[in-house]
Amino acid sequence: MSIFKSKPTQVTWQSAKPFSVDLYSSRYPVCGSHMVWAVVGYKWVRIRKAFGQVVPFKVRRAEWDQIAKRAL
C-alpha cells in the first residue's frame, strides 16, 4: 500500500503532507522511524501514523523543527 493512498479523509487532515520521521523520545506515543502524515501549523504540528496503529498526537512546532525528517 502506498502512503499516498492512506491519507486520512477527515477535514482536519486535508492539508496534511507525508513525512518520514525519526521519533526517539519517550514523550511521543510511538518510537522509531515512521511514515506519518503531518499538518504543520504556526504553533503546533499534528501527526498521525500512515500505517498500523493510528495514534494521532501533536508536538510543538519548535520540537518538530528539531526532529530528523524527510518529506516524501
C-alpha cell at 68: 530528523
Predicted TM-score (pTM) of the model is 0.86
Q: What is the pLDDT of residues 29-62, one digit of tens each?
A: 988 999 999 999 999 999 998 887 778 999 999 9
User: Is residue 1 predicted with pLDDT exceeding 90?
Assistant: no
Task: Provide the pLDDT for residue 2.
Answer: 66
Q: Are 7 and 48 in contact (CB under 8 A)?
A: no
Show the beta-strand stretches assigned E in the chain.
17-23, 32-40, 44-49, 57-60, 69-71
